[in-house]
Amino acid sequence: MRIAVVTERREGERRVALTPDAVTRLKGQGIDVLVHAGAGTGASLPDEAYAEAGAEVVADEADLLGRADALVTVGRPEQDWIDGLRRGAILVGLAVVIFWGTFFPLI
Protein backbone atom coordinates (compact mmCIF):
# COMPACT_ATOMS: atom_id res chain seq x y z
CA MET A 1 0.00 0.00 0.00
CA ARG A 2 1.29 3.43 -0.94
CA ILE A 3 -0.42 6.52 0.50
CA ALA A 4 0.11 9.95 -1.06
CA VAL A 5 -0.15 13.38 0.55
CA VAL A 6 -0.66 16.42 -1.68
CA THR A 7 -0.01 20.10 -1.12
CA GLU A 8 -3.38 21.65 -0.32
CA ARG A 9 -4.29 24.46 -2.73
CA ARG A 10 -7.17 26.29 -1.08
CA GLU A 11 -6.32 29.87 -0.19
CA GLY A 12 -5.34 30.16 3.45
CA GLU A 13 -5.14 26.38 3.98
CA ARG A 14 -2.09 25.61 6.10
CA ARG A 15 -2.93 22.09 7.20
CA VAL A 16 -1.49 18.88 5.78
CA ALA A 17 -3.23 15.50 5.74
CA LEU A 18 -0.43 13.57 7.51
CA THR A 19 2.26 14.68 9.95
CA PRO A 20 5.73 13.14 10.08
CA ASP A 21 4.62 11.29 13.25
CA ALA A 22 1.75 9.71 11.30
CA VAL A 23 4.23 8.72 8.58
CA THR A 24 6.37 6.95 11.18
CA ARG A 25 3.36 4.99 12.41
CA LEU A 26 2.25 4.05 8.90
CA LYS A 27 5.77 2.95 7.97
CA GLY A 28 5.75 0.76 11.09
CA GLN A 29 2.72 -0.99 9.63
CA GLY A 30 4.48 -1.58 6.32
CA ILE A 31 2.73 1.24 4.46
CA ASP A 32 4.78 3.45 2.15
CA VAL A 33 4.08 7.19 2.14
CA LEU A 34 4.68 9.66 -0.69
CA VAL A 35 4.60 13.34 0.25
CA HIS A 36 4.43 16.13 -2.31
CA ALA A 37 7.39 18.47 -1.83
CA GLY A 38 6.29 21.44 0.27
CA ALA A 39 3.06 19.81 1.46
CA GLY A 40 3.84 20.51 5.12
CA THR A 41 5.32 23.98 4.70
CA GLY A 42 2.14 25.81 5.78
CA ALA A 43 2.03 23.75 8.96
CA SER A 44 5.75 24.36 9.66
CA LEU A 45 6.57 20.75 8.77
CA PRO A 46 9.57 20.72 6.39
CA ASP A 47 10.23 18.09 3.75
CA GLU A 48 13.25 16.94 5.76
CA ALA A 49 10.98 15.94 8.67
CA TYR A 50 8.92 13.76 6.33
CA ALA A 51 12.03 12.19 4.83
CA GLU A 52 13.44 11.46 8.29
CA ALA A 53 10.12 9.82 9.20
CA GLY A 54 10.48 7.49 6.21
CA ALA A 55 8.36 9.21 3.56
CA GLU A 56 9.51 9.64 0.00
CA VAL A 57 9.30 13.34 -0.86
CA VAL A 58 8.18 13.69 -4.49
CA ALA A 59 8.60 16.93 -6.44
CA ASP A 60 6.26 16.06 -9.32
CA GLU A 61 2.59 15.99 -8.32
CA ALA A 62 1.53 13.94 -11.37
CA ASP A 63 4.15 11.31 -10.52
CA LEU A 64 2.98 11.23 -6.91
CA LEU A 65 -0.67 10.76 -7.91
CA GLY A 66 0.12 8.13 -10.53
CA ARG A 67 1.98 6.00 -8.00
CA ALA A 68 -0.57 6.26 -5.17
CA ASP A 69 -2.84 3.46 -4.00
CA ALA A 70 -4.57 5.99 -1.75
CA LEU A 71 -4.65 9.79 -1.62
CA VAL A 72 -5.34 11.65 1.62
CA THR A 73 -6.38 15.31 1.65
CA VAL A 74 -7.47 17.84 4.24
CA GLY A 75 -9.99 19.67 2.10
CA ARG A 76 -12.15 18.85 -0.86
CA PRO A 77 -10.01 17.11 -3.47
CA GLU A 78 -9.19 19.00 -6.62
CA GLN A 79 -10.54 17.49 -9.85
CA ASP A 80 -7.07 17.10 -11.35
CA TRP A 81 -6.00 15.10 -8.27
CA ILE A 82 -8.91 12.72 -8.84
CA ASP A 83 -8.13 12.52 -12.57
CA GLY A 84 -4.47 11.80 -11.82
CA LEU A 85 -5.18 8.76 -9.65
CA ARG A 86 -4.92 5.27 -11.04
CA ARG A 87 -8.09 3.24 -11.49
CA GLY A 88 -8.93 1.54 -8.20
CA ALA A 89 -7.07 4.06 -6.03
CA ILE A 90 -8.73 5.19 -2.80
CA LEU A 91 -9.48 8.85 -2.02
CA VAL A 92 -9.76 9.94 1.59
CA GLY A 93 -10.76 13.57 1.94
CA LEU A 94 -13.46 15.99 2.94
CA ALA A 95 -16.38 16.49 0.58
CA VAL A 96 -19.04 19.07 1.42
CA VAL A 97 -22.16 20.15 -0.42
CA ILE A 98 -23.54 23.65 0.13
CA PHE A 99 -27.31 23.70 -0.22
CA TRP A 100 -29.26 26.89 0.47
CA GLY A 101 -26.49 28.19 2.70
CA THR A 102 -26.24 25.01 4.79
CA PHE A 103 -23.34 22.58 4.74
CA PHE A 104 -24.11 18.88 4.29
CA PRO A 105 -21.29 16.34 4.27
CA LEU A 106 -21.40 13.86 1.41
CA ILE A 107 -21.74 10.31 2.65
CB distance 56 to 50 below 8 Å: no
pLDDT 10s digits, 42-100: 999 999 999 999 999 999 999 999 999 999 999 888 899 999 999 999 999 875 555 55
88: left (phi over 0), alpha (psi -120 to 50) or beta: left
pTM: 0.86
State the average pLDDT over residues 28-47: 97
